[in-house]
Amino acid sequence: MKKNVYFVSGIDTNIGKSYATAYLARVWREKGINVITQKFIQTGNPAGYSEDIELHRRLMGLEYLPEDEQGWTKPEIFSYPASPDLASRIDNRAVDFDKINHATSVLSERFDAVLVEGAGGLMVPLTPDCLTIDYIQHSGYPLVFVTSGRLGSVNHTLLSFEAIERRGISLHTVMYNLYPEGEDKIIQEDTENYIRHYMEKHFPEAEYCHNGSFRVRFKTVGFPKRPGSCGKIISFHI
């Protein structure tokens, strides 16, 4: 497999990983990078369907791709909306990591870059003995990490950063979710400033950029035509 696969995780479920994945894919495509997204384990959907892949394509402005139809972008799907560990036990079949890795490898060969969206946060169990962070560490994928400025997120973010640093995982990009707009602006801005400060100390290679062009409302104005220079911390609306 080529070294062109990036794993997308975040501080929690419903933090905006799917929107962030689609946004980053759209930005990269506009820069001429042939990128595809993958949902490595989808839960809460019927066989053959991934709501997250459907969302990715819609926000990327694309129809379903041949790789979507062939199942390479959604290799494992479970019916119950829970952690992959619980969902797989309910469906009475184990997570097939060989199938997942093969699908990712196929996409890696066909595209310039692959964005693999995870399920939930870093510590979500995939099996009784394997957490999401274990999978990222074992795979060696650079991490795209999604956080926000809502109350309490600074604690979740710093705990995640400490785990990432301890595991020796490469932090590639931090995406800062500005949704919902009704959040306390003082807390939101202070959280971002603290995350920047922490990154400068612990992840000095991870540059950041706070650019108005990254403040995107996916549901209203779509995506910027010229995203500008992309650093390693991106602020966006969903």
From the list 2, 3, 39, 219, the catalytic residue is: 39
Q: Which residues contact 140 (CB under 8 A, 6 or more apart)?
A: none
Active site includes 17? no
Unique residue bearing structure tokens 């759209």 = 26
Unique residue bearing structure tokens 């995780």 = 9
Amino acid at 16: G
Residue 12 near residue 156, CB atoms below 8 Å = yes
List the one residue out of 118, 147, 158 whose CA is nearest residue 134: 118
Residue 216 near residue 16, CB atoms below 8 Å = no
Beta strands 5-10 and 113-117, pairing class: parallel
The residues annotated with a catalytic role in the active site are 39
